Amino acid sequence: MLIIIIAIVGGLLLFIPKKTDKSESKNSLPSGGTNQVTLTDKGFSPESITIKKGGTVSWINASSKSGTVNSASHPNHNLHRFLNLGEFPSGSSFEAIFEKEGTYSYHNHLNPQQQGTVVVK
């Protein structure tokens, strides 16, 4: 009898709706929180990200070697100097806060073909 009760209760638990946190959806414009960009061996992913003003972007190096985040344009890095974050080894990360609306282009100075953009609205 106890086994039957356990089976019934266990079966009912399968049909209880699970609460989901819709605030973590990456499909809509993220809130002012932290937004993630990953550096892989193929480049930045996503290549372009749209965030709200005051938001933070965190770059994570998941590639097999060191990389950089440097402002456009290569090799001078003068367009958005606060994005000259420098070199970060594989497995590390760093972040920047975007206080003003606009489009911010950057690249990996060690592999300039790897480029990305942050659009701030």
Q: Is the residue at 78 inside a domain?
A: yes
* H/E run at residue 97: strand 93-97
CA angle 30–35–40, rounded 5-degree value: 135
Phi-psi region of 85 (alpha: psi -120 to 50; beta: other; left: phi over 0): alpha
Per-residue pLDDT of the chain (121 residues; tens, 9 = 90+): 545 444 444 443 333 333 333 333 333 444 456 799 999 999 999 999 999 999 999 999 999 999 999 998 888 888 889 999 989 999 999 999 999 999 999 999 999 999 999 999 9
**What gap in Å lies between CA 71 and CA 44, rounded to an integer?**
14
Q: For residue 3, what pLDDT is reported? A: 53
In whole angstroms, give the CA distance from residue 114 to residue 53. Answer: 25
Identify the CATH number of the domain in which residue 98 sits.
2.60.40.420
Q: How many CB atoms lie within 10 A of CB 106?
A: 28
Residue 114 forms part of a structural domain:
yes
Range of 74's domain?
A: 31-120
CA within 13 Å, CB half, 26: 7
Tell me what pLDDT residue 43 has.
97
In a domain, 91, yes or no: yes
